[in-house]
Amino acid sequence: MEQEFSLSQYLAVLRRRWRMIAITLAITLGAAIVFSLLQPISYEGEAVLTAPPPKYTWRLDNNIQTVTEDLRLDRRGDYTVLITDKTLGQALARTVIETMGDELPPDLRDPQLLRRAVNVKNGQSRLVYLNATAPTAELAQKLTNAWAAVWIDETDARYGQGADKLKFAGELAQAQAHLDTAGQALEAFQSRTGMALQMGSFMAALDNGSLAAGLPLLQQQLVLNNSDLADYRLALSRISLLEDQARAAQANAAGFETLPLEVLDTPMLVARGVLTRARVAAMHGDLAQLLAASDVEKQALSDTVARLETETTAIQTELAGLLQKQDRLTNDYNLAQEAVSALQRKVTEIPIQQEVAGTPLMLMHPSGLPGKPATPDWLMNLAAAFLLGLLGGVMIVMGTEYLRPGL
- Residue 260, classed as helix, strand or coil, is coil
DSSP calls for 184-243: HHHHHHHHHH-TTSPTT----B-TTS-B-S-S-HHHHHHHHHHHHHHHHHHHHHHHHHHH
Is the distance from CB of 393 to CB of 25 less than 8 angstroms? Answer: yes
What single-letter amino acid sits at 231? D
Cα distances (Å, whole numbers) of residue 258 to 183, 265, 287: 67, 17, 11
Query: DSSP state, 117?
Result: T
pTM of the model: 0.50
Q: Give the number of other CB atoms < 10 A from CB of residue 331.
A: 12
Is the distance from CB of 128 to CB of 49 less than 8 angstroms? Answer: yes
CA dihedral sign of residues 239, 240, 245, 248: positive
pLDDT in tens, the chain (407 residues): 444 546 777 777 778 878 888 888 899 989 988 888 887 888 999 999 998 876 544 444 444 444 444 445 688 888 999 999 999 999 999 999 999 988 998 888 999 999 998 999 998 888 999 999 999 999 999 999 999 999 998 888 888 776 677 778 888 999 999 999 999 998 888 888 777 665 444 444 444 444 444 567 777 888 888 999 999 999 999 999 989 988 888 888 887 888 888 888 888 889 888 888 888 888 888 888 988 999 999 999 999 999 999 999 998 898 888 889 989 999 999 999 999 998 888 888 777 766 666 778 889 999 999 988 888 878 888 899 899 988 888 888 888 877 765 54
- Residue 108, classed as helix, strand or coil, is helix
How far, in Å, CA of 47 to CA of 64, rounded?
A: 35
How far, in Å, CA of 256 to CA of 254, rounded?
A: 7
The secondary element (H helix, E strand) that includes residue 127 is strand 127-134
How far, in Å, CA of 233 to CA of 143, rounded?
A: 93
How far, in Å, CA of 14 to CA of 33, rounded?
A: 26
How far, in Å, CA of 330 to CA of 333, rounded?
A: 5
β-sheet with 118-122: strand ranges across: 118-122, 127-134, 43-50, 362-365
CA dihedral sign of residues 370, 372, 376, 379: negative
Beta strand ranges found along 226-379 (DSSP E): 362-365
pLDDT of residue 355: 67
pLDDT of residue 57: 46
pLDDT of residue 138: 93
CB-count exposure of residue 396 (10 Å: 0-12, 13-18, 19+)? middle
pLDDT of residue 159: 83
Rounded to 5°, angle at Cα 179 from 173 and 183: 150
How far, in Å, CA of 177 to CA of 87, rounded?
A: 33
What single-letter amino acid sits at 359? T
How far, in Å, CA of 307 to CA of 145, rounded?
A: 86
pLDDT of residue 397: 81
How far, in Å, CA of 154 to CA of 159, rounded?
A: 8
DSSP3 helix / strand / coil % (the chain, rounded to 5): 70, 5, 25
pLDDT of residue 67: 41
